Structure 1
Amino acid sequence: MEHETKLISTLEELKDCENINILGYEKGPLAEYLGTPDEALALLKESHGVSLDPKFKASFHRFSRLGIHWRGASENSAVGGEFYLVHLLNAIIGGRPADLASSRSSEKEAALYSDFRIFDSQPRGGVGTFAALRLRDGTDEPEIWYFHMNHGSTRMEIDYQEYLNNLLLTRGAYYWQYLFTDTPADYYHSNEIASGLRRAIEFLSDVFPNNDYSDLRARLHDRLA
């Protein structure tokens, strides 16, 4: 399956790079019992009543969990990244995140969080961040949301397949998700996210010169304008 190959290739590329230090790595078993993408999506519909657009088959992977935590070596130690993917069905069947809503959450926020199904997170070096599908009745194409413990949730402008593609491109560099949201410019400046993303994009461009990072540069520029 194409995305399985791409994910493993990206992990091996990070592990073999002399300019990157690997701080954590986890590769769970393949959920082969779920079968092909067609069989897995059919099982999801039959057992949980959740229908997903057929295009999810193109971005399907069978890893029960797959994660890596890294930092740039020596003078680039301020740059880092992390992702921890789980199987699409595990994310959905696992249910909504426990205890995400707090006493400070409004009814609207609590209702939103109840729709979330986490498929990517940063458990080692993150600060309570994750990406989730938002399951809603009447649609087979869930929204993608990014959550930060201190700053709440924001909807992303991309779908699940585009999320995985950009995850591979950024190697999970911290906060890359904000480049695909309508987060205001003052947020970037007040939280030093802009400088971190700028360093990350330049670092990745130097270390992985065969990849095109012009779109990420343009997105950062547009969001700071």
Structure 2
Amino acid sequence: MLEYEAELINMVEETISCTEIQILEQEEGTLGDFLGDADNAFRRLKQIEGVTLSPSLKNTFHRFNGLGLQWSKSGENEWPGGEFRLVQLLDAIIGGAPAWLTQEGWPEEQRVLHSDFRVFDSQFYGGVGTFSALRLQDGVENPKIWYFNITYGSIEMEIDYEGYMNQLLLTRGVYYWQYLFTDIPFEHYNFEAIASGLRSSIDFLEENFPDHDYSELTARLDERINRRRET
């Protein structure tokens, strides 16, 4: 098992073992041993798709397809709660863009944007139409990360794939954590509800996983709340 794979499994086991959490859905996923290590997998990607990725993406490379968890605080339906479902990079890239996002009916500008998306994390179980994707563009070895919400649309994140996967270990997929790493346009989002949910989720994580440092998440949330008040 690769180092980051072990970190993912440890995070899942920690979450499941927490007495204050109820598990709503769990998927162990298949482990693509045939890919070998990150170096070998990235060589395969270059051979098959002609895609060269930055070596930094190897630091959080994993070979799981369908490793997922949906959870909530015991006795609650959503807040605090979260979910994720991970797909390894090769399958995400080879699988192409989600067909329904490139069909007629979307504005042309959005269809062009969506055609670059390669989904590696989604809220599969809740069926709420949200996912995170690499934006695959020619000559870009460290692709931008975009977060898509069926209600609010697409927004670019301020972290790369390595940063995203490290934050996933910390957040355990709490709903809307991705907005803490975006320049969220307040006028188009129900920010008050999102911020309230994130506050309760971060407080819950701090209380139940005290060995982890959530100060950056708290600071990012406070910064966005203050910016909202100034608008």
Q: Would you say same fold, with TM above 0.5? A: yes
Which amino acid is 1:68 matched to? L
Whole-angstrom CA distance in 2 between matches of 1:44 and 1:78? 39
- The answer on whether the counterparts of 1:184 and 1:223 sit within 8 Å (CA) in structure 2 is no
Query: Which residue of structure 1 lines up, in the alignment, with residue 138 of structure 2?
Result: 137
Whole-angstrom CA distance in 2 between matches of 1:76 and 1:140? 40
Query: Which residue of structure 2 lines up, in the alignment, with residue 200 of structure 1?
Result: 201
Query: Which residue of structure 2 lines up, in the alignment, with residue 73 of structure 1?
Result: 74
Q: Give the Å deviation of 1:224.
A: 1.4
Query: Which residue of structure 2 lines up, in the alignment, with residue 40 of structure 1?
Result: 41
Query: Which residue of structure 2 lines up, in the alignment, with residue 166 of structure 1?
Result: 167
- 1:31 paired with 2:7, answer no
Rate the CA distance shift 1:56–1:44 in 2: closer, same or farther, 3 A: same
Whole-angstrom CA distance in 1 between matches of 2:137 and 2:105? 24
Query: Which residue of structure 2 lines up, in the alignment, with residue 146 of structure 1?
Result: 147
Q: Give the Å deviation of 1:74.
A: 3.0
Whole-angstrom CA distance in 2 between matches of 1:207 and 1:51? 40
- The answer on whether the counterparts of 1:81 and 1:173 sit within 8 Å (CA) in structure 2 is yes
Q: Which sections of structure 2, spanning at least 5 residues, go unmatched?
A: 227-231
- 1:210 paired with 2:218, answer no
Q: Which sections of structure 1, spanning at least 5 residues, go unmatched?
A: none
Q: Give the Å deviation of 1:7.
A: 0.3
- The answer on whether the counterparts of 1:185 and 1:224 sit within 8 Å (CA) in structure 2 is no
Q: Give the Å deviation of 1:28.
A: 1.6
Between the two proteins, the alignment pairs up a number of residues equal to 225
Q: Give the Å deviation of 1:54.
A: 1.1
- The answer on whether the counterparts of 2:152 and 2:188 sit within 8 Å (CA) in structure 1 is no
Q: Which TM-score applies when normalising by structure 1? A: 0.95
Whole-angstrom CA distance in 2 between matches of 1:94 and 1:16? 34
Which amino acid is 2:84 matched to? F
Whole-angstrom CA distance in 2 between matches of 1:60 and 1:75? 33
Deviations 1:193-225 (A, max 9, x none): 010001101011111111111111110111111
Rate the CA distance shift 1:172–1:157 in 2: closer, same or farther, 3 A: same
- The answer on whether the counterparts of 1:188 and 1:224 sit within 8 Å (CA) in structure 2 is no
Which amino acid is 1:63 matched to? F
Whole-angstrom CA distance in 2 between matches of 1:80 and 1:139? 34
Query: Which residue of structure 1 lines up, in the alignment, with residue 92 of structure 2?
Result: 91
- 1:224 paired with 2:221, answer no
% of aligned pairs identical?
A: 54
Query: Which residue of structure 2 lines up, in the alignment, with residue 112 of structure 1?
Result: 113
Q: Give the Å deviation of 1:22.
A: 0.3
Shifted more, 142-151 versus 29-38: the winner is 29-38
- The answer on whether the counterparts of 1:188 and 1:194 sit within 8 Å (CA) in structure 2 is no
Query: Which residue of structure 2 lines up, in the alignment, with residue 127 of structure 1?
Result: 128
Which amino acid is 2:218 matched to? R
Shifted more, 105-114 versus 68-77: the winner is 68-77
Deviations 1:163-211 (A, max 9, x none): 0111110110000000000003445555610100011010111111111
Which amino acid is 2:214 matched to? Y
SS at match of 2:31: coil
- The answer on whether the counterparts of 2:152 and 2:189 sit within 8 Å (CA) in structure 1 is no
Query: Which residue of structure 2 lines up, in the alignment, with residue 4 of structure 1?
Result: 5
Whole-angstrom CA distance in 1 between matches of 2:112 and 2:183? 21
Rate the CA distance shift 1:190–1:102 in 2: closer, same or farther, 3 A: farther
Q: Which TM-score applies when normalising by structure 2? A: 0.93
Q: Give the Å deviation of 1:3.
A: 0.9
Which amino acid is 2:43 matched to? A
Whole-angstrom CA distance in 2 between matches of 1:104 and 1:190? 27
